[in-house]
Amino acid sequence: MYQPDSKIAEEFISDQEIKDTLAYADANKDNRELIISIIEKAKKLKGLSHREASVLLACEDKELIQKVFDLAIKIKEEFYGNRIVMFAPLYLANYCVNGCVYCPYHYKNKHIRRKKLSQEEIKKEVIALQDMGHKRLALETGEDPVNIPIEYVLESIKTIYGIKHKNGAIRRVNVNIAATTVENYKRLRDAGIGTYILFQETYHKDNYEVLHPTGPKHNYAYHTEAMDRAMEAGIDDVGIGVLFGLNMYRYDFAGLLMHAEHLEARFGVGPHTISVPRIRPADDVDPDEFENGINDDIFEKIVAILRVAVPYTGIIISTRETKESRERVLRVGVSQISGASSTSVGGYAEPEKPEDNSAQFERSDDRTLDEVVNWLLDLGHIPSFCTACYREGRTGDRFMSLVKSGQIANCCGPNAMMTLKEYLEDYASEDTKQKGEKVIKEALETITNPVVKQKAKEYIENIHEGKRDFRF
Ligand code: SF4
Ligand code: SF4
């Protein structure tokens, strides 16, 4: 039985409800009147249900889909302005007791090098990341209670926040570790994490169990209910996602939105972010096993529909994607991207030697952070290193009410300009600096609130004189 506010995974992600949703979407994919009414509803910026969004996904009418794309672009502009938030993953360790068939860290893989960074090595990595200009990290580990206990993760977070190198600082640490207990989530909350991120991979229970044949991750209910435990523990911001290419994408798309509806129904706050990774080649993973991969057109459509269905949620894309496919999804809805990522354990302070292979997946975008920033500026975006909300206590429902009222753009814009200014002063190449200064100058004039405009100008002048870390 489908119950969005249930605590039980199989009730809030009901297989029957997803099947009924897909049948409903198929039956209505040519129902022009219904599709137009869904698009009209989305224009009110209150989001769409998983059923409505699934009808849009099934629709193949080019003209109607173009309307969805146009709306996605407009909604993105309205909620967040043209800023794109930057982050980098930091892989702490790749020991893992699970047997996930799509991931090279699965415990049976003997040709991968197992590594765990010491606190000293973490310091070096973080200094290298700060020297690139990063301010926001996503910590990644495998699951291994013996080699990677929660105490290690907590100690690492403390180490990372404590490093102040030149003008650098990591101001927000998001954490992507295995599903755990309420007690451990409380400890992560107390350590000052930003978002807790956990991908569902697939919401299809039977497939989930086949893809995760052994280890604690095999337990579908424990994994699917992880965000409930995190929120019960007081973590306000959670990030969900599926790995597209593991199952029927339409099934997972509906499940993803049901998960968001569930969090909203139970806690009054939807997910802070949604990630849309696609499966990538990796060591000891056979890509031919995954026949449900999605092409660039469908990928772009998914992102655009997510943008209109959950307008208040950040959408994240990683360096799994090529420059070209990132460009397409940035246009229609992505609000956060990683740049210059290392997908190995370590790899920032010193590039990994081929014989030390510890990467989780092959990157499709291996440009430097400066190249990514430069490219974003060319595309008309403002690359942002902002971490203000979390540090100002704007998390959970406080954050959502700001976003839903459309007020967040008033913070995002000036914060993007100020953090970009820091980047230009401390890390940028001459060409990026020139482009960035021009963009900031123009963007400052677009701030409508005269008090904010005046303050932003002052802060930017202060940054030029050597001061750091201003925020709205
Ligand atoms: Fe381990 Fe995560 Fe990879 Fe699964 S996906 S093998 S849990 S690191
Ligand atoms: Fe993100 Fe808040 Fe900064 Fe906007 S102001 S970029 S929502 S942290």
At the second CATH level, the architecture of 82-366 is Alpha-Beta Barrel (3.20)
- The ligand 2 atom nearest the CA atom of 83: 6
Strands in 129-283 per DSSP E:
136-141, 172-176, 196-197, 238-241, 273-275
Tokens for 165, please give them. Answer: 């190198």
Question: Is the confidence at residue 291, as pLDDT, over 60?
Answer: no
Report how far residue 227's alpha carbon sits from residue 222's, in angstroms, rounded to the nearest whole number. Answer: 10
* Residue labelled with tokens 């044949």: 213
Question: Is the confidence at residue 390, as pLDDT, over 70?
Answer: yes
**Relative to the alpha carbon of 97, which ligand is closest?**
1
Q: Work out the average pLDDT over 294-316.
A: 94
The tens digit of pLDDT for each residue in 188-211 reads: 999 999 999 999 999 999 999 999
| Integer angstrom CA distances of residue 408 from 80, 329, 399, 432 | 7, 21, 8, 27
With a Cβ cut-off of 6 Å, ligand 2 is lined by 83, 85, 384, 386-389, 408, 411-412, 415
- Give the pLDDT of residue 341: 93
DSSP annotation of 218: G
Report how far residue 233's alpha carbon sits from residue 250's, in angstroms, rounded to the nearest whole number. Answer: 32
**Relative to the alpha carbon of 358, which ligand is closest?**
1
The tens digit of pLDDT for each residue in 27-56 reads: 999 999 999 999 999 999 999 999 999 999
Using pLDDT thresholds of 50, 70 and 90, give the confidence band for residue 13: very high
Per-position b or e across 362-376, b if 16+ CB within 10 A of its CB: ebbbeeebbbbbbbb
Report how far residue 26's alpha carbon sits from residue 149's, in angstroms, rounded to the nearest whole number. Answer: 46
Within 28-109, residue ranges assigned H as helices are 32-42, 50-58, 62-80
Q: Work out the average pLDDT over 127-138.
A: 98
- Among residues 108, 110, 105, 107, the alpha carbon closest in space to that of 94 is found at 105
Question: Is the confidence at residue 470, as pLDDT, over 90?
Answer: yes
- Integer-rounded Cα Rg, in Å, for the chain is 21
- Give the pLDDT of residue 352: 84
Using pLDDT thresholds of 50, 70 and 90, give the confidence band for residue 292: low
- Cβ of 115 closer than 6 Å to ligand 1, yes or no, is no
The tens digit of pLDDT for each residue in 334-374 reads: 999 999 999 899 999 998 888 788 888 778 889 999 999 99
Phi, psi of 120 (to 5 degrees): -65, -40
Q: At what angle do helices 249-267 and 15-27 cross, to 10 degrees?
A: 120
Number of CB atoms found within 10 A of residue 377's CB: 20
Question: Is the confidence at residue 281, as pLDDT, over 70?
Answer: no
Q: Among the ranges 78-87, 148-157, 363-372, which has the highest mean pLDDT value?
A: 148-157
Distance from residue 399's CA to the centre of ligand 2 (Å): 9
Using pLDDT thresholds of 50, 70 and 90, give the confidence band for residue 284: confident
Mean pLDDT, rounded, of the chain? 94
Question: Is the confidence at residue 174, as pLDDT, over 90?
Answer: yes
Distance from residue 412's CA to the centre of ligand 2 (Å): 5
Report how far residue 447's alpha carbon sits from residue 81's, in angstroms, rounded to the nearest whole number. Answer: 11
* Residue labelled with tokens 């021009």: 438
Tokens for 90, please give them. Answer: 């930091």
- Cβ of 103 closer than 6 Å to ligand 1, yes or no, is yes
Task: Map residue 447 onto helix, strand or coil.
Answer: coil
Q: How many residues does the chain have?
A: 472
**Relative to the alpha carbon of 106, which ligand is closest?**
1
Pocket perturbation via mutation, ligand 1, pick of 92, 105, 116, 285 by most ligand atoms within 8 A of CB: 105
